Amino acid sequence: MSRILLVGKEPDLIEVLRLSLEADGHHIMTALDCLEALEMVAGRLPDIVVTDSKTVDAIALCKLQRHAQPGERFRVIRLSDGPQPTDTHASLFDAYVQKPVDVQQLLSLVSQLTIERQNLSSDSSIDMRSR
């Protein structure tokens, strides 16, 4: 399954999400903020980042994305206190989940993003082999 990085300062929420995602077969890492997340994934990027809107640092996410190889961009799910934002950083996020978090909705979204990512990887592998 996917390597997922949970970033947030709400320990109870992060723990519930960690347990649910692990039970669904995913490998989970946790960080308190984006700076800690940057240090954690220096060697190997996650497939998906789930971040609390209060702790997200858009600049740090951009730096993290720059470490990715072309075509290996990870997906980002933002946990939000309100409706989907329309701010200048909205394009950094692949999906939004409004709090309180519906764990089943998050699991479904993670599955969907994992499938999309695998399909993109398969497509780029085929393109590389045909050259």
Domain boundaries, the chain: 3-129
Does the pTM surpass 0.75? The reply is yes
Residue 87 confidence (pLDDT) above 50: yes
For the domain covering 3-129, report its CATH number: 3.40.50.2300
Report pLDDT digits (tens) over 2-40. 999 999 889 999 999 999 999 999 999 999 887 788 788
Q: Tell me whether residue 65 is exposed, middle or buried, using C-beta atoms within 10 angstroms of its C-beta: 0 to 12, 13 to 18, 19 or more.
A: middle
Crossing angle for the helix pair 103-129 and 11-23, to the nearest 10 degrees: 60
Q: Tell me which DSSP letter residue 72 carries.
A: -
Q: Which residues pair with 95 in a beta bridge?
A: 77
Label residue 127 by pLDDT band (50, 70, 90). low
Residue 100, preceding bond cis, omega within 30 degrees? Answer: yes
Residues 47, 3 contacting (CB under 8 angstroms): yes
Residue 130, pLDDT score: 46
